[in-house]
A and B are shown apart, each in its own frame.
Chain A
Amino acid sequence: MLLKQIENFLKYRFLLQELVSRDFKIKYRRSVLGIVWSLLNPLITMTVISIVFSQLFRFDVPNYHVYVLTGLVLFFFYSEATSTAMNAVLINSALIKKVYIPKYILVFSKPISAMVNLLFSCIALFIILLFSDVRFQLVNLLFPLPLLYIFVFSTGIGLLLSTYTVFYRDLSHLYTVGLTAWMYLTPIIYPIEIVPERYLFIVRTYNPLYYFLLCFREIVFYSRLPDLQLHLTCIGLAFGALIIGIYVFYRNQDRFILHI
């Protein structure tokens, strides 16, 4: 059973590649600078954010603009990966009705596309870091680890959302609104210290994104090695989401065709 799944995945892995590369081809088609935009876009955005946040808002955080950027990079990845994944089944409904393909490939290609964007954002972030006071240290090289955690987490959430969106279309509108709220409930532009004690449970305890963000910032911003407990929390959340996502998707995927 599992072996058959793996065999099937290997057969369709080229489709996965093609879907990801299509996302990029379509995005930069007919633009003069083409693929350069994928670096230029985050770089310019980050420069603007850096200027705004280092001049306008002031919290008691050294290198405040870098603090904000590390948060935004991670949140934008999560937001892009899950919201594109959630619509992947619906958008490809014409295809699903006509040809057999493993449907999860359509969903799975979205976090991968978002991941490629994230890597470009990381290059841009690195360039910004060169112009800040944050010193490069060896521990910074561990940055792919939290990215991997949040990638797995987003894939799980993406599978879950894409399944329920087929049956309840309102979800995609709700989620867009929810994401905005979620962004402000995550310590991205403010330090966790300013949150009143009684609200901490929303911002920290019950917010999975907080842990991924903390892990990322520990490594990139504070140049510290996150403790084992934080790693285990991230891994637990990531694979928990993935397992639930896969389970729900597999239970329902044969009914998709009746609802799209």
Chain B
Amino acid sequence: MINASNNIVEVNNVSMRFNLAKEKVDSIKEYVIKLATRKLFFEEFWALNDISLRVERGEILGIIGYNGAGKSTLLKIIAGVMKPTKGSVSVTGTMAPLIELGAGFDMDLSARENIYLNGAILGYSRKYINNKFDEIVDFSELHDFIDIPVKNYSSGMAARLGFAVATITEPDILIVDEVLGIGDIRFQEKCEQKINAMLKRRATVIMVSHSITEIEKMCDRVLWLEQSRFKMLGETKEVCAVYRAN
């Protein structure tokens, strides 16, 4: 029997329904009819179907599956970005989402201003960012560009800054969505080191990746989603072997 208190993330029977926006309505007549029958603009789409999952403290869980399998949706639900249509999610502890790095960057502001803005979006206080400011700049290696608007950055530079801001905390849970491939080889290694350092502190990681090698290298367990449904959950070796054979 699983000790309930050791579960840091619990996902219970989660389903997520989206409305696919249809832009085109040809006539006013059609509009009125659809409005009356409540079919206007939308077609239902279930991005996740009855998914349950338990992640223990210190575990590294990988999520695999083809495009559109619902991997990112599941991560976003765990991260609290959206609420599931059915089911529930409970998370114990602090979380650092590495879902889209620099999601809150304002392109017109300088890197310095964006560190504060993006930090605030992640829920840091001003004092905390003041203390960590140099560390963020050092890690992103953007000393010479710190007062330049981010719109003039290359995408790699912006991603470096985003990674540096997002990983400055010491979170209990790290949520990683395909972001380990940013920057050049040297920076990727740096990112990996940073994540390994977090793992040493027994941080829990939930990661999505299309690189099965990366998953095999890092994860303890793997969840396989196929077309919004649960396909397989188990030891990395086992699941990856079946996935490769598929």
A-to-B contact residues, CB < 8 Å = 11-12, 14-15, 17-19, 22, 25-26, 29, 94-101, 254, 257-259
Contacts and interface: CB of A to CB of B under 8 A. Distances in A.
Interface stretch (B78-86, B183-191, B237-245): B78-86
Interface of B: 18-19, 76, 79-83, 97, 99-100, 103-104, 106, 108-109, 113, 116-117, 120-126
Contact of B125 (A14, A95, A97, A258): A14
A-B pairs, 4 with minimum CB distance: A98-B103, A15-B120, A100-B80, A18-B120
A15 B121 contact: yes
Given A14-B125, A26-B106, A254-B83, A99 B97 contact: yes
A257 B16 CA distance: 12
A17 B113 CA distance: 12
27 contacts: A11-B123, A11-B125, A12-B120, A15-B121, A15-B123, A17-B120, A17-B126, A18-B117, A19-B120, A22-B106, A22-B113, A22-B117, A25-B113, A94-B103, A95-B121, A96-B81, A99-B79, A99-B81, A99-B97, A99-B100, A99-B121, A99-B122, A100-B79, A100-B80, A257-B81, A258-B19, A259-B19
A244 to B, nearest CB: 23
The interface residues of chain A, by DSSP majority, are classed as helix
A101 B113 contact: no
A26 B81 contact: no
Contacts of A19: 117, 120
Nearest to A256: B82
A106 to B, nearest CB: 10
Given A22-B106, A99-B104, A100-B97, A14 B82 contact: no
Contacts of B121: 15, 95, 99, 101
A97 B100 CA distance: 10
Contact of B124 (A14, A25, A26, A94): A14
Contacts of A25: 109, 113
Given A14-B124, A18-B116, A258-B19, A95 B82 contact: no
